[in-house]
Structure 1
Amino acid sequence: MSEEPKAKRISERARELEETASFAQIDLLQNSPFMRACRREPTPYTPIWLMRQAGRYMPEYRLLRERVPFLELCKSPELAAEVTVNAAERLGVDAAIIFADLLLIVEPMGFRLEYAKGDGPIIHNPVRSAQDVEGLREMEDAAPLDYVLQAIRLTRRALPQDLPLIGFAGAPFTLASYLIEGGGSRNFMRTKTFMYSDEGLWNELLSRLARSLARFLSAQIEAGAQAIQIFDSWVGTLSPDDYRKFVLPHTKSLIESISPRAPVIYFGTGTAGLLELMRETGGDVIGVDWRIQLDHAWQRIGERAIMGNLDPVTLFADLPIIRDRARSILDRADNRPGHIFNLGHGILPQTPVENVVALVEMVHEMSQRRETRSMT
């Protein structure tokens, strides 16, 4: 795949479609199965999209990454749009998610970010003191991340008119954990020690992050995203009491501050002990991983839509097993309005592409409603 000609075609396609946006398109988007599920309205089938649906498991993406470093790819609007559109079209999913990274926001806030091959993200000047928090530059607007907004605009114009686009960001806790640890962690010792040692400083850090995130997410909606996902990838490391005291107020403040309004998906891993508290954040959809049965999780989150929750490793199994596991999740949802099928976390790099495509087709086929005609 040659990234320059393909990216140019994406840009040209976007320009051709730019003038076609209308109330009819808005209606198509808002009445798509994904958006209806976010609002817990009946759908003709269960919508499905997949976290990391644009990623290393796709040969085209790997070829592109051989020529373009990860951060450069994220910062090239045309290439980010190309990757986003290609994945959605290849898989036949019911929503696209913009190709970006949850740590992009830390650079304009004063942090030196690097993606080292094989080691993941590295923050070279981590937060370790009150002086570090004081030196954090709160984002007053989303201008420093305009390349993400440009990618959203290009992608929105290039996608089918009835296919929603999801914008995203990291949650305050998860961002804070990266900043304090200096990268990933297994036990989050530094993060928790920081949190316990100085509650006032912790709240100042998360407040600054939440305000910056709200501005960024609001700008993504204005640029053309129909929904937002907030990734709280590491929040499952906390006890319910710690979540309630140190995290819930900031995540709730973030969600309340997003404007214009759009459906918000709040997702974390290892959160089976936190579901009732996650509901209190105000998220419209709660994403759950595979460590809890879908119907049990839904009972606990109450009047919210739910997203999940196939174990990503299932996609390495034979197709009959994948079908059986997908059927089990759909059976637990029991045709109740408000279920968005997804994995319990992102697609793993070694996953066979054909199995991912097959899963999407299986979910669509097995979840067809008899009342399809009246729902469309």
Structure 2
Amino acid sequence: MIKNDLFLKALRGESVERPPVWMMRQAGRYLPEFMEIKAKYDFFTRCQTPELASEITVQPIRRYGMDAAILFSDILVIPQAMNIHVEMKPGVGPWLPDPIRSEKDMDKVIIPDIQDSLGYVMDAIKMTKEKLNDEIPLIGFAGSPWTILCYCVEGQGSKNFAKAKELCFTDPKVAHDLLRRITDTTIAYLKEKVKAGVNAVQVFDSWGGMLSPEDYQEFSWKYIQQIIDALKDETHVIAFGKGCWFALDTMAKSGASALGVDWTCSPGNARYLTGGQITLQGNFDPSRLFSPPSEIKRMVKQMIDEFGKDRYIVNLGHGILPNVPVENAAAFIEAVKSYRTD
């Protein structure tokens, strides 16, 4: 039994004294203790070494006492497992030297054996669960098939992922073949994570907002829906689409336990668009963590008041930024933990 089950209660839609809180990308780059590990080991070594990944996962919990932990990993371990070469270049970010841009490029793309290629993630989950000792739940995650495709086709990060969109619109057969393979791999991967012990999973559609509403349904949402359908009877699924407020009404009917919302959609609009019957998560602008701690606390209280304390998980509208002061992150967490309805 999880001792602090606020997060799971919120996912089940139960009434709570205060909403639970965690932060996307909480395990990592803004923490001095993480930077010490980063100085010794490269990015994918940290992901692929269970002892390191589990330690990084619990660092923010020790410091701040969030209501849920999220496993330290990366969405690009999926293409790596699918025989697509991925590096993390300093100053560049993700770098895929052999992008997928034609039917011939698809010849090398495999649907892997998850335990064989990603067993290190399952080992990290088991180690993390031991460290957490049933104090709080653990979240596993994956990128959406569309978001993974964006990196596989573009070959790196991008402001508009124009090459990815070009492939979808000029050779949709190849695009859908790649999306299907990513989807199948992701479903198998998340199912193994659930077996290894995660208490919920989140699908990050970081680049869904690059698509028009119609193209979003075609190239992104229908694949996320397949993932939700495959997992929803086994665990809680949180779907987060950055910039995808236009699809919230569709998402609300998906069978997901919760929907993430970014800071461009107000709490009132998010509740309206989703019909008020599903748990929402978000949506504090990560850049607002540069505000003075007193201002952060005021804004967090206002945000909770507007969302309502039930069917709500306090979070950022995207990942925490690397140069946020640790005391400002503390103010964000403390504001939630001290929240009481007036």
| TM-score, shorter chain, exceeding 0.5 | yes
Within the candidate set 133, 138, 141, 2:114 is matched to 141
Which residue of structure 1 lines up, in the alignment, with residue 266 of structure 2? 293
Alignment partner, residue 157 of structure 1: 130
Q: Which amino acid is 2:66 matched to?
A: V
Task: Select which of 256, 259, 267 maps to 2:229.
Answer: 256
* Structure 2 residue aligned with 1:317: 291
Matches within 5 A, 1:1-376: 25=1, 28=2, 32-258=5-231, 261-302=234-275, 303-335=277-309, 337-366=310-339, 368=340
Q: Deviations over 1:119-150 (max 9, x none)?
A: 10101111010112233101243431011100
Shift of residue 114, structure 1, vs aligned partner = 0.7
CA contact under 8 A between 1:251 and 1:281: conserved in structure 2?
no
Inter-partner Cα distance in structure 1 for 2:54 and 2:341: 33
AA aligned opposite 2:294: P
Tell me, yes or no, if the aligned pair for 1:95 and 1:164 is still in contact at 8 Å.
yes
Query: Structure 1 residues 259, 273: closer, same or farther in 2, change over 3 A?
Result: closer
User: In the TM superposition, what is the alpha-carbon distance from 1:279 to its structure 2 partner?
Assistant: 2.8
Question: Deviating runs (4+, > 4 A) in structure 1?
Answer: none
Q: Does 76-85 or 254-263 show the bigger shift? A: 254-263
Q: What is the CA deviation profile of residues 311-364 of structure 1, one whole-angstrom value per residue up to 9, with x for unaligned ones?
A: 1111111122111211221111123x2100000011100001111112111111
SS of residue paired to 2:180: helix
CA-to-aligned-CA distance 1:4-54 (integer Å, 9 cap, x gap):
xxxxxxxxxxxxxxxxxxxxx2xx36x710001011111121100001111
For 1:227 and 1:321, locate their aligned partners in 2 and report how far apart those are by CA, in whole Å.
32
Give the distance between the partners of 1:159 and 1:296, measured in 2 at CA.
36
Q: Which moved more, 1:178-187 or 1:134-143?
A: 134-143
What amino acid sits opposite 2:129 in the alignment?
A: R
Paired residues of 1:221 and 1:260 also in contact (CA < 8 A): no
Deviates more, 1:140-149 or 1:181-190: 140-149
Corresponding residue SS for 1:230: strand
Aligned length: 341
Could you say what secondary structure the match of 2:315 adopts?
coil
133-142 vs 122-131, greater mean Cα deviation: 133-142
Aligned-partner Cα distance in 2 for 1:104–1:279: 28
Distance 2:86 2:240 in 1: 24
Q: Secondary structure at the match of 1:167?
A: strand
Once residues 193 and 280 of structure 1 are traced to their aligned partners in structure 2, the CA distance between those partners, rounded to angstroms, is: 30
Query: Are the equivalent residues in 2 in contact too, given 1:51–1:343 (CA < 8 A)?
Result: yes
| CA 232–321 in structure 1, closer or farther in 2 if over 3 Å, else same | same
3-state DSSP of counterpart to 2:294 = helix
Amino acid paired to 1:93: M
Offset of 1:117 from its aligned partner? 0.4
Structure 1's 132 and 281: CA in aligned 2 closer, same or farther, altered over 3 A?
farther
One-letter code aligned to 1:333: F
State the Cα distance separating 1:369 from its structure 2 match.
5.5
Gaps of 5+ in 1: 1-24, 371-376
Counterpart contact for 2:34–2:59, Cα < 8 Å: no
1:341 alignment partner, SS class? strand
TM-score w.r.t. the length of structure 1 is: 0.87
Bigger radius of gyration: 1
Q: Are the counterparts in 1 of residues 231 and 237 from structure 2 also a CA contact under 8 Å?
A: no
| Residues in 2 aligned to 1:33 and 1:259: alpha-carbon distance in whole angstroms | 19
Contact 1:265 1:286 in 2 (8 A): yes
Alpha-carbon distance in 2 for matches of 1:300, 1:260: 25
Q: Distance in 1 between matches of 2:176 and 2:251?
A: 18
Maintained 8 Å contact 2:33/2:59? no
Tell me how far 1:188 sits from its aligned partner. 1.3
Q: Which residue identity does 1:60 align to in structure 2?
A: E
Q: How far did 1:260 drift?
A: 6.1
Query: Counterpart amino acid of 1:213?
Result: T
What CA distance in whole angstroms lies between the structure 2 residues aligned with 1:142 and 1:158?
Answer: 22
Post-superposition CA distance 1:174-207 (Å, at most 9, x none)? 0011100001111111111111112222221111
Identity %: 37
- The CA RMSD measured in Å over matched residues stands at 1.5
In the alignment, is the contact (CA less than 8 A) between 2:293 and 2:327 conserved in 1?
A: no
In the alignment, structure 2 segments of 5+ residues that lack a partner are none
Question: What SS does the aligned partner of 2:198 have?
Answer: coil
